[in-house]
């Protein structure tokens, strides 16, 4: 009994230490300090400029005002509601329908677990995890898949707008051409821009709302370019041409980062899959040898600690090989 209590205390301390390391890792690595430095730079007021023509000074003020508005929108967009997440995933459900579907899924899992012979308390925990976590994981998966399709089609759409402007078409008509020729989900997103502009909203503000439905840096760049050009003027075709080049360069950089991180991802997959594979092989050869892990109390404790440690390790490796640019 003393050995069991000692082992439980030791594994509990290790688990708490691992979780603490995972959650305080951003503080130790300096990520929080870097975010504060970036925020201080972006929050700095405009510097005083001496000399220059009045028109250029007015243009600079308009550009600075537009950038401030975009920064405010970015700060507000971090608080995403459930209805917004459903829309970002491309679903037409309401919030009530999603909650009802999650409850039905959790209740079905609970009934199936009880019928299958599972104890009441673990069955309730499993049903809550399934009903609360699985639908939101599906939302995240659909959102990422939709964003990938949007990014693949956005540079071509910007090129279409550039060619239309150079041919003499207004920007609004060029957006209609994109709606007619582009694949989903870019077609529906640009159709929303056209519809909101048709009911009287300024085109710059309509393009800025694209980032609310598609929270990507590329969509934010597009909204910034259109908003600045509609307010301060300038060569729109040249600005969008530069934006198209930036979008394609970012896509190349993302592909390069993915290729460079594939070795680390493969290593993480092998390390994560090795323990369960070894457990299955040992169980096939000598089931009485490894069955102590789930028949003996100490074995169950060790098994739970191993699952926690493996999950923390996989999470840390995932954070290390994911790059934001």
Provide the token pair at 4: 């069991």
Pick 58 or 141 by higher pLDDT.
141
d(CA 201, CA 120): 55
Q: Report pLDDT for 45.
A: 44
Task: Provide, rounded to the nearest whole percent, the portion of the chain with pLDDT above 70.
Answer: 74
The 10s digit of each residue's pLDDT in 272-323 is 788 888 888 888 888 888 888 888 888 888 888 888 888 888 778 777 777 6
What pLDDT shows up at residue 93?
A: 85
Phi, psi of 46 (to 5 degrees): -65, 135
pLDDT per position as a tens digit, 14-49 = 666 666 665 665 555 555 565 666 555 444 444 444
- Residue 1 is predicted with a pLDDT of 45
CB 25 within 8 A of CB 316: yes
Query: In Å, how far are 282, 296, 302 from 291, measured between CA atoms?
Result: 10, 8, 13
Give the model's pLDDT for residue 324: 63
Report yes or no: 219 and 250 within 8 Å, Cβ to Cβ. Answer: no
What pLDDT is attached to residue 61?
65
What percent of the chain clears pLDDT 90, i.e. is strictly above it?
2
Q: Name the residue with tokens 């680390």.
A: 264
Q: Which residue has the higher pLDDT, 98 or 90?
A: 98
Residue 60 has pLDDT above 60, yes or no: yes
Asked if the model's pLDDT at residue 5 lies above 70, the reply is no
Residue 28: its pLDDT value, please? 55
The mean pLDDT of the chain is 78
CA atoms of 268 and 274, how far apart (whole Å): 10
Is residue 240 pLDDT above 60, yes or no? yes
């Amino acid at each position: 009994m003393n050995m069991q209590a000692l082992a439980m205390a030791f594994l509990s301390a290790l688990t708490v230490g691992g979780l603490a390391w995972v959650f305080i890792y951003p503080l130790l690595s300096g990520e929080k300090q870097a975010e504060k430095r970036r925020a201080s730079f972006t929050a700095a007021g405009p510097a005083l400029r001496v000399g220059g023509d009045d028109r250029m000074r007015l243009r600079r003020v308009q550009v600075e005002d537009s950038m401030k508005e975009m920064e405010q929108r970015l700060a507000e967009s971090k608080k995403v509601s459930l209805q917004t997440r459903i829309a970002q995933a491309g679903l037409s459900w309401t919030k009530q329908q999603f909650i009802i579907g999650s409850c039905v899924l959790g209740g079905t899992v609970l009934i199936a677990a009880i019928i299958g012979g599972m104890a009441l308390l673990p069955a309730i925990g499993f049903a809550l995890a399934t009903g609360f976590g699985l639908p939101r994981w599906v939302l995240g998966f659909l959102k990422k898949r939709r964003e990938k399709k949007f990014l693949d089609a956005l540079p071509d759409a910007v090129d279409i707008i550039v060619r239309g402007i150079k041919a003499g078409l207004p920007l609004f008509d060029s957006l209609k051409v994109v709606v007619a020729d582009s694949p989903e989900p870019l077609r529906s997103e640009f159709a929303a821009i056209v519809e909101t502009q048709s009911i009287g909203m300024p085109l710059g503000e309509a393009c800025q709302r694209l980032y609310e439905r598609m929270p990507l840096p590329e969509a934010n760049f597009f909204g910034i370019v259109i908003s600045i050009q509609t307010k301060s003027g300038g060569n729109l075709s040249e600005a969008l041409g530069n934006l198209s080049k930036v979008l394609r360069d970012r896509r190349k950089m993302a592909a390069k980062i993915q290729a460079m991180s594939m070795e680390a991802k493969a290593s993480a997959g092998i390390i994560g899959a090795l323990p369960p594979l070894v457990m299955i092989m040992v169980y096939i050869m000598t089931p009485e040898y490894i069955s102590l892990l789930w028949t003996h109390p100490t074995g169950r404790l060790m098994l739970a600690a191993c699952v926690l440690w493996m999950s923390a390790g996989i999470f840390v490796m995932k954070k290390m090989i994911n790059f934001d640019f």
